């Protein structure tokens, strides 16, 4: 187990984005939280401090909570290779896919329990009776019984799922069920992800959110974005060494110094060349190879545009054993392309040694993109979509999972109905490259929607509500907007769902 340092952020900086009224309301809610939580420590436990959506969200969410004076702490569990193979198998099956096709049987149960026991012993050394522990994803769910026995209140947040149950998903849920049923509350990103056997009293729906001021989303001039992409080796030319700055999560200044490892015949010839970008982990469900083929097959319709598939250095994401294989697979498929396709496609591995520097590189990639793609075959929520929407980029994405909650087709982006349809994906990209007015309109709508619904304050208030409920102290409703109170009353007898906008 490793304790992850948490930066301290103040919501005051967010006023220009969320509006002064929302900022005041937020401050009131947090003031109340300090009283209601009454000295309890709120622990978050997941399996990786960097790489992927959960780590991304915790970095900022917890920093705001800490900055507001709540006692919040973050632990990352340990695991060995076989353990992460098992949890990755569960991850794929919760998405309805077989993954590596291996078993979830007696050996897997025993090994999962063995690793969990080791983590549990360390957790018990620090968590006290009465503390609230939020466990994230299947990797940590095994800790539920030991934490309950220690008198902690346990919330499990599941960031993955799929809309329809199938055999693979059912198998994963049977594996997890004995642990899940012991949690005091469970959080899902969509109502459709809640397993039918879970009591509706303990299921809460809270979609994820992004932080407008994080290094990944903070404003960045076009010139700086271009310069960073030139520095890392994606765009041709010379980078100016005095324009590589960014602000770190804790608000100290940072500077991009490292370069990316890029598979390419040569860099994108210039910053005026339209760049199509997908940013993802190297995971089969993100279908980087599908984007590669969708683009390559229809490159004659893409003008002089290039494609960049951007992911973390696959050797650096410890809880993702598949990353290297998926990346190598993409490289092999790239190597098979005709030279005229190869020279327009770039496979980019971003260094992860400095997580803020990595975030600045992602920020630059998304901001510079003429079109952002997220061709996931399955998607719990899809933070990369939210990030692109917030930056006002036109998005082409598969109509799967939480992406559907973010984009209405033709309003905030273009959705591709069949996620395996590379032709339709290429077609939508070509449409946006050709129709600048459409691209601009979708980008504008996307930004508005991201600000209204998918920023950190909305999520924080929902989470605090849930923690109050778990602690047996429901918060007074009178400092929330009328719309929210109505929604809450209306949904109290269904799956518990708290929906409201920050504006």
For 324, the token pair is: 């290297």
127/307 with CB nearer ligand UDP: 307
31/100 with CB nearer ligand UDP: 100
- Rounded Cα distance, 75 and 4, in Å: 6
- Rounded Cα distance, 457 and 382, in Å: 18
Q: What minimum distance in Å lies between the beta carbon of 319 and ligand UDP? A: 11
Q: Is 382 in the site for ligand UDP (CB under 6 A)?
A: yes
For residue 476, what is the DSSP state?
P
- Rounded Cα distance, 340 and 243, in Å: 33
For 74-120, the DSSP string reads EEE----HHHHHHHHHHHHHHTT--TT----SHHHHHHHHHHHHHHH
- Stated as kind and residue range, the H or E segment containing 469 is helix 456-470
Burial of 396 (0-12, 13-18, 19+ CB in 10 A): buried
Residue selected from 48, 358, 398, 462 as contacting ligand UDP according to rule CB under 6 A: 358
Site map (CB under 6 A) of ligand UDP, residues 55-94, x = contact: -x--------------------------------------
Q: Is 362 in the site for ligand UDP (CB under 6 A)?
A: yes
Of all residues in the shown chain, the one whose CB is closest to ligand UDP is 53
- Residue identified by tokens 């903070």 is 218
Q: Is 52 in the site for ligand UDP (CB under 6 A)?
A: yes
Q: Is 350 in the site for ligand UDP (CB under 6 A)?
A: yes
For 14, the token pair is: 């967010």
Three-state DSSP class for residue 455: strand
Residue selected from 132, 383, 450, 463 as contacting ligand UDP according to rule CB under 6 A: 383
131/356 with CB nearer ligand UDP: 356
* Structural contact between residues 229 and 368, judged by C-beta atoms closer than 8 angstroms: yes
Q: Is 457 in the site for ligand UDP (CB under 6 A)?
A: no
Q: What minimum distance in Å lies between the beta carbon of 418 and ligand UDP? A: 20
Site stretch for ligand UDP (CB under 6 A), options 96-104, 170-178, 235-243, 379-387 = 379-387
Burial state string for 59-91 with b = 16 or more CB within 10 A and e = fewer than 16:
bbbbbbbbbbebebbbbbbebeebbbbbbbbbb
* Structural contact between residues 111 and 23, judged by C-beta atoms closer than 8 angstroms: no
Q: Is 53 in the site for ligand UDP (CB under 6 A)?
A: yes
Q: Dihedrals φ, ψ of 352, to 5°? A: -115, 5
Q: 374: closest CA among 355, 359, 357, 393?
A: 393
Q: Is 394 in the site for ligand UDP (CB under 6 A)?
A: no
Q: Is 189 in the site for ligand UDP (CB under 6 A)?
A: no
Q: Dihedrals φ, ψ of 226, to 5°? A: -60, -45
Residue selected from 279, 302, 461, 470 as contacting ligand UDP according to rule CB under 6 A: 279
Q: Is 312 in the site for ligand UDP (CB under 6 A)?
A: yes
Q: Is 414 in the site for ligand UDP (CB under 6 A)?
A: no
Q: What minimum distance in Å lies between the beta carbon of 140 and ligand UDP? A: 15
Site stretch for ligand UDP (CB under 6 A), options 49-57, 65-73, 414-422, 431-439 = 49-57
Q: What minimum distance in Å lies between the beta carbon of 255 and ligand UDP? A: 18
Site stretch for ligand UDP (CB under 6 A), options 134-142, 217-225, 243-251, 356-364 = 356-364
274/382 with CB nearer ligand UDP: 382
383/469 with CB nearer ligand UDP: 383
For 261-311, the DSSP string reads EEE-SS-BS-TTS-EEEEE--S-GGG-HHHHHHHHHHTGGGSTT-EEEEEE
22/214 with CB nearer ligand UDP: 214
- Rounded Cα distance, 130 and 154, in Å: 10
Site stretch for ligand UDP (CB under 6 A), options 236-244, 268-276, 287-295, 355-363 = 355-363
Locate the DSSP E strands across 124-164: 132-136, 153-158
Site stretch for ligand UDP (CB under 6 A), options 81-89, 195-203, 227-235, 375-383 = 375-383
Q: Is 120 in the site for ligand UDP (CB under 6 A)?
A: no
Q: Is 381 in the site for ligand UDP (CB under 6 A)?
A: yes
Q: Is 351 in the site for ligand UDP (CB under 6 A)?
A: no
Q: What minimum distance in Å lies between the beta carbon of 191 and ligand UDP? A: 18
Q: Which residues bind ligand UDP (CB under 6 A)?
A: 52-53, 56, 216, 279, 281, 311-312, 350, 358-359, 362, 381-384, 387
């Amino acid at each position: 187990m490793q304790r992850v340092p948490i930066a301290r952020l103040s919501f005051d900086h967010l006023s220009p984005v969320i509006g002064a009224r929302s900022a005041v309301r937020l401050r009131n809610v947090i003031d109340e939280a300090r009283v209601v939580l009454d000295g309890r420590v709120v622990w978050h436990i997941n399996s990786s401090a960097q790489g992927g959506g959960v780590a991304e969200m915790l970095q900022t969410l917890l920093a705001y909570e800490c900055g507001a004076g709540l006692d919040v702490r973050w632990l990352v569990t340990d695991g060995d290779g076989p353990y992460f193979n098992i949890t990755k198998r569960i991850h794929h099956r919760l998405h309805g896919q077989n993954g590596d096709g291996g078993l979830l049987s007696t050996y897997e149960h025993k090994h999962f329990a063995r690793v969990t026991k080791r983590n549990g012993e360390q957790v018990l050394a620090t968590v006290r009776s009465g503390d609230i522990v939020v466990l994230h994803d299947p990797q940590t769910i095994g800790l539920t019984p030991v934490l309950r026995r220690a008198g902690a209140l346990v919330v499990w947040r599941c960031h993955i799922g799929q809309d329809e149950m199938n055999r693979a998903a059912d198998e994963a849920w049977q594996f997890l069920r004995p642990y899940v049923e012991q949690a005091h509350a469970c959080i899902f990103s969509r109502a459709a992800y809640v397993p039918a056997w879970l009591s509706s009293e303990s299921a809460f729906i809270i979609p994820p959110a992004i932080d407008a001021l994080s290094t990944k989303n903070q404003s960045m001039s076009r010139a700086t974005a271009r310069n960073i992409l030139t520095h890392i080796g994606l765009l041709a030319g010379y980078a100016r060494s005095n324009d590589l700055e960014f602000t770190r999560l804790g608000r100290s200044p940072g500077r991009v110094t490292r370069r990316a490892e890029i598979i390419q015949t040569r860099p994108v010839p210039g910053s005026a060349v339209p760049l199509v970008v997908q940013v993802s982990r190297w995971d089969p469900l993100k279908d980087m190879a599908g984007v590669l083929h969708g683009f390559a097959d229809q490159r004659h319709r893409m003008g002089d545009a290039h494609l960049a598939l951007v992911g973390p250095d696959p050797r650096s994401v410890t809880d993702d054993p598949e990353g290297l294989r998926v990346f190598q697979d993409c490289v092999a498929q790239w190597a098979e392309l005709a030279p005229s396709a190869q020279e327009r496609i770039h496979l980019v591995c971003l260094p992860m040694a400095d997580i803020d520097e990595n975030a600045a590189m992602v920020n630059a990639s998304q901001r510079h993109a003429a079109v952002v793609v997220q061709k996931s075959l399955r998607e719990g929520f899809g933070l990369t979509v939210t990030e692109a929407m917030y930056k006002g980029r036109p998005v082409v994405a598969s109509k799967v999972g939480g992406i559907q909650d973010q984009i209405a087709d033709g309003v905030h982006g273009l959705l591709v109905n069949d996620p395996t349809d590379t032709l339709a994906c290429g077609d939508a990209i070509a449409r946006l490259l050709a129709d600048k007015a459409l691209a601009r309109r979708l980008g504008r709508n996307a930004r508005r929607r991201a600000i209204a619904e998918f920023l950190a304050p909305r999520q924080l208030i929902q989470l605090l509500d849930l923690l109050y409920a778990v602690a047996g102290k429901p918060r007074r409703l009178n400092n929330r907007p009328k719309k929210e109170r109505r929604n809450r009353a209306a949904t109290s007898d269904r799956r518990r769902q708290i929906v409201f906008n920050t504006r």
